Amino acid sequence: MSSPSAPVQVVRFGVFEVNLRSGELRKSGIKIKLHDQPFKILAMLLERPGEVVMREELRQKLWPADTFVDFNHGLNNAVLRLREVLGDSADTPRFIETIPRRGYRLIVAVDSVADGSPGLIPASTPAPSPAQIVQPVPTAGAGAPDSPDTSDLRDTSNRRREFWRSAIVVASVLAVVAVFVGTVLIRRTTKMPRIQSLAVLPFQNLSGDPAQEYLADGVTDMLITQLARLNSVRVISRTSAMHYKNSPQKLPEIARELDVDAVVEGTVSSTVDSVRINAQLIDARNDRHLWAEVFERDIHDLLALQSELARTIADQVANRTGPQHHIQAQTKQVNPEAYECYLKGRFFWNKRTEDGFIKAIGFFEQAIAKQPDYAQAYAGLSDTYALLGLAPHAQASRSETMARARAAALKALEMDDTVAEAHTSLASVSMIYDWNWSVAEKEFRRAIELDPGYATAHHWYAFYCASQARTEDALAEIRIAKKLDPLSLIINADLAHLLYFARKYDEAIAQSRRTLEMDPDFVAAHVSAGLAYLGKQQYSESVRELETAVRLSGGQPDTMAFLGIAYARAGRADEARRILEQLTTAPVTDHDPLLKVAWIHAALGDRNRAFAWAEKVYQARSPEFYTLKVLPVLDPWRTDPRFRELIRRIGLSE
């Protein structure tokens, strides 16, 4: 008697290899991402190659009876996703054949790596073809043997066939009734999965051309922007979502890290004439597909296609949350070439480097040249100039970049006053450069009203609140920004910075540590920790953190100035003066850390020189100036009449 055969763990068909135990699919040795439900379908087909796997069997396996789902739609979409991964087609199948109204059949030869097990075709045995599986019953007209002795048998056979036809009809009717009744009962007794938070993961570029990456990123950005307008769903911002570009992590793990209920993911492929987007909505808590659809349009209809996609997903989410803000259809015609330039501009803007900003400006200007009334392109131009003006070592003059940021924002709002990004840019310029506090407040509030899911608006508004000494409001806004963009390093570091402004030094240190767990080399987090230790008068710890920041930044003047303050407060005056000399011997520009130079003089006890440098800060309209009311290092100045005069001159009340 032979011993039982070993269970099959790895199965091969064509260029594909499936590990049934680990749930992995490989193509020519390369691992391919395949979600839970499509994989289960593939596994069931592999267990019975050549046989029809009935739809009801698949339903029982994929959707237990205690859950509600649109079974037919869900199964069709799961098979569609499986076919896409395999490169298969329902019309001309190479792997999976559809048996109408019944189920599916694997029609490719299957090899098992381990010894065959019951239900699997042994190695090198081709799967039977459909013709081999369903053999027609020979009849007399087809050349089958016939004799007088078989006529009674044929009559009996005919009667049996008629009986079974009737029985099948009755059974089919009963099955339909049972499905209907079951669906109604499930609808009544089972709640649909609620979606209160959502992440749009980076869409994959399937064009094979890295130069088309901007298109996939553009689709991702557009979906995030539009879905963020839903009023009862928290949508994760782009910065955090992009952490998972090409990530091998499982969806439930990503969902836990982002603290979301569901994710949207998909692929983008394009040709010269058309674009194809495959999108799916997934309950990330259990990796269950809720919806999927393929959209294909002329390349010139890309913007309208993205708008349609966002509205479709919003409808799916709305079914699971209740009333939503309606996402308006894209009605304004946008020149396709202008839109392509806009997407490229946002692609480089998101790199957050000076070189990226310069390239972004070029693409936004090209978009405007192709369509002069393109409000979003002006908003992108404003965003870019605003951030370039804040860059500590940019070549362009801050006064020039801020003036251009203001002009571009006003132009965008003149064309379309519903663009939240333009309101945010105008607010930031009004705050950090114009010191026009009333305009800044109004524009920040309008931006958040238009797009409550725009993390940048909450982030920058937090600093506005801090400038007004509204520290609790500032912390509330930065925490909203962090909830929307949990993996943003700068938002996490700035939360620590605002805790420092609020004199919550221990909390600031703890938050800095959490940021450094995400990236141990993030300079801003070391600066926040160093300043918090300085507030606690723990000078050795402060110096340690700030020396680390100087080393990691390559000796940037900003971080050196912070270190100079710590040296002075720690009694290391000679080291503080050496830093002062380095910062003041070079020609002064409007990007230099002028206020921090004043801080070092103040920490060394030279208040007259400190106020002389503060006057230079005022003349250069340094962006640091708006924090005068809340900076702990300036506390010793607050009783000096010259300090109160500075506060008055920039329009801040004491």
What confidence tens digit (pLDDT) does each residue in 381-396 have?
998 998 887 776 566 7
**Is the pLDDT at 373 greater than 80, yes or no?**
yes
Count Cα neighbours of 308 within 13 Å in the Cβ-side half-sphere: 12
| More reliable by pLDDT, 188 or 476 | 476
Structure token digits, residue 454: 């725009």
Bridge partners of 16, per DSSP, are 13, 27
d(CA 493, CA 198): 24
The whole-number pLDDT of residue 290 equals 82
DSSP-derived secondary structure letter, 204 = E
What confidence tens digit (pLDDT) does each residue in 48-64 have?
888 889 888 887 777 65
Per-residue pLDDT band at 184 (split at 50, 70, 90)? very low
The whole-number pLDDT of residue 146 equals 42
Beta pairing class for 52-54 and 30-32: unpaired
| Spatial CA neighbour of 445 closest among 491, 482, 485, 477 | 477
Least confident range of 41-55, 97-111, 404-418: 97-111
d(CA 603, CA 605): 5
Least confident range of 219-228, 302-311, 427-436, 493-502: 302-311
d(CA 240, CA 200): 10
| More reliable by pLDDT, 72 or 566 | 566
**Cα dist from 131 to 107, 178, 546, whole Å:** 11, 33, 77
Per-residue pLDDT band at 135 (split at 50, 70, 90)? very low
Per-residue pLDDT band at 337 (split at 50, 70, 90)? confident
pTM of the complete model: 0.66
The whole-number pLDDT of residue 378 equals 95
Whether the CA torsion 589, 593, 598, 600 is positive or negative: it is negative
**Is the pLDDT at 195 greater than 70, yes or no?**
yes
Per-residue pLDDT band at 589 (split at 50, 70, 90)? low
| Spatial CA neighbour of 592 closest among 628, 617, 565 | 617
| More reliable by pLDDT, 309 or 522 | 522
Least confident range of 157-171, 323-337, 422-436: 157-171
The whole-number pLDDT of residue 619 equals 81
What confidence tens digit (pLDDT) does each residue in 487-506 have?
888 899 999 999 999 999 99
Number of Cβ atoms within 10 Å of the Cβ of 19: 14
Distance of CA 293 to the CA centre of its chain: 19
**Is the pLDDT at 67 greater than 50, yes or no?**
no
The whole-number pLDDT of residue 595 equals 73
Highest averaged pLDDT of the listed ranges 18-22, 75-79, 413-417, 555-559: 413-417
**Is the pLDDT at 530 greater than 50, yes or no?**
yes
| More reliable by pLDDT, 436 or 653 | 436
The whole-number pLDDT of residue 20 equals 84
Highest averaged pLDDT of the listed ranges 263-267, 492-496, 604-608, 642-646: 492-496
Count Cα neighbours of 427 within 13 Å in the Cβ-side half-sphere: 25
The whole-number pLDDT of residue 121 equals 37
**Is the pLDDT at 223 greater than 90, yes or no?**
no
d(CA 34, CA 431): 48
Q: What are phi and psi of 39, to 5 degrees?
A: -65, -40
The whole-number pLDDT of residue 192 equals 55
| More reliable by pLDDT, 194 or 486 | 486
What confidence tens digit (pLDDT) does each residue in 15-57 have?
888 988 888 888 777 777 787 788 889 988 988 888 889 888 8
Per-residue pLDDT band at 181 (split at 50, 70, 90)? very low
Domains of the chain: 10-131 (1.10.10.10), 197-326 (3.40.50.10610), 334-436 (1.25.40.10)
Q: Evaluate whether 217 touches 194 at the Cβ level (below 8 Å).
A: no
Per-residue pLDDT band at 68 (split at 50, 70, 90)? very low
Q: Evaluate whether 344 touches 213 at the Cβ level (below 8 Å).
A: no
Bridge partners of 649, per DSSP, are none
Length in residues, the chain:
654
Query: H-helix or E-strand containing 500?
Result: helix 489-501
Per-residue pLDDT band at 332 (split at 50, 70, 90)? low
Q: What's the angle, vertex CA 492, arms to CA 490 and CA 495, rounded to 5?
A: 105
User: With pLDDT > 90 as the criterion, what percentage of the chain qualifies?
Assistant: 27
**Is the pLDDT at 331 greater than 70, yes or no?**
no
The whole-number pLDDT of residue 183 equals 40
